[in-house]
Amino acid sequence: MRDDTGADVPVRRPVRRVVSLVPSLTETLAVTAPGLLVGATDWCSHPVGLDVVRIRGTKNPDLDAIRALEPDLVVGNAEENRAPDVAALRAAGVPVWMTEIRTVDGALVSLRRMLAEGCGLPVPGWLDDAARVWAAHTPGPPRRAIVPIWRRPWMVLGRDTFAGDVLARLGVANVYAGHPERYPKVALEELTASGADLVVLPDEPYAFTAGDGPEAFPGLPAALVSGRYLTWYGPSLVGAPAALAGALARVRPSRTGRPRRR
């Protein structure tokens, strides 16, 4: 079998033990097949109360701990995980299935393949539900936004990102969607002069809050959104359109044409 990157994956059947290197994939597997996961990263926060061995982070997984778990399959993501770590696991004889996800449609296809082909599982109902809610969702009024994901230094969504596609489906155009980098560092002065009429501030990877983030953009309304709904691909896809649309709806244009927070 081949994963999203085109790599051959010698999957062992049946798959009974899986280690996940990405929070989104951890939630995907834990909801779909409880008991299948034996290891996950320290950042894997959903489902709440998940009881598995923790193998450090997405960028610095404990490879010895992963091998000691004797997984039938390790699942990861080409953007989140480092190629040398993946190569080391494969060299040790551990099958690794890598996803590559940059759009909502791509997520639906990739997760279906990972679950059905990679893990040998039936396609879960929540995945069909996610496809339906996104197909039925109507975009809101068009807006132009900057989407910071970090500060000190400021970093924003650039080209070709999953979160950018999510926002585009909601009627929000990313000002930096044409940037040559996917997550460019941009000076605050440039951001405030970008011509955006909205700043979208997720609570991860940087935990923007009402008191940490909006003050950097005086006069520019801020939509504080859940990073899980904006950047995760998995069961969160089902509730993401409604949750994000609700957060964006709380920011309305003023009579002067500039948005204001409701």
pLDDT digits (tens, 9 = 90+) for 171-204: 999 999 999 999 999 999 999 999 999 999 999 9
Q: Are 233 and 111 in contact (CB under 8 A)?
A: yes
pLDDT of amino acid 253: 54
pTM > 0.95: yes or no: no
pLDDT at 261 over 50: no
pLDDT at 145 over 90: yes
pLDDT of amino acid 255: 39
Helix (H) or strand (E) holding 83: helix 83-91
pLDDT of amino acid 124: 97
Q: Are 42 and 143 in contact (CB under 8 A)?
A: no
Is 46 strand, coil or helix?
A: coil
Query: Which comes out higher in pLDDT, residue 244 or 250?
Result: 244
Q: Phi/psi of residue 38, each to 5°?
A: -120, -15
Fold designation for 18-123:
Rossmann fold (3.40.50)
Structure confidence by residue, pLDDT tens digits, 74-131: 999 999 999 999 999 999 999 999 999 999 999 999 999 999 999 999 999 999 999 9
Query: Which comes out higher in pLDDT, residue 13 or 215?
Result: 215
Q: 157-190 in b/e burial notation, b at 16+ Cβ within 10 A? A: bbbebbbbbbbebbebebbbbebeeebeebeeee
CA separation (Å) from 81 to 5, 41, 117, 150? 13, 11, 21, 19
pLDDT at 254 over 50: no
Mean pLDDT of the chain: 94
pLDDT at 259 over 60: no
Closest CA to 21 of 34, 35, 40: 40
Complete DSSP assignment for 137-166:
PPP-S-EEEE-EEETTTTEE--SS-HHHHH
Closest CA to 177 of 196, 155, 157: 157
pLDDT at 260 over 60: no
Residue 214 preceded by cis peptide, ω within 30: no
Structure confidence by residue, pLDDT tens digits, 40-86: 999 999 999 999 999 999 999 999 999 999 999 999 999 999 999 99
pLDDT at 262 over 80: no
pLDDT of amino acid 77: 98
98's CB contacts (< 8 A; 6+ apart) are 3, 4, 5, 7, 75, 76, 77, 78, 81, 86
DSSP conformational letter for 122: P
Is 20 strand, coil or helix?
A: strand
pLDDT of amino acid 188: 97
Which pLDDT band, with edges at 50, 70 and 90, does 140 fall under?
confident
Is 15 strand, coil or helix?
A: coil
Domain ranges of the chain: 18-123, 140-261
Which pLDDT band, with edges at 50, 70 and 90, does 252 fall under?
low
For 140-261, CATH gives 3.40.50.1980
pLDDT of amino acid 251: 83
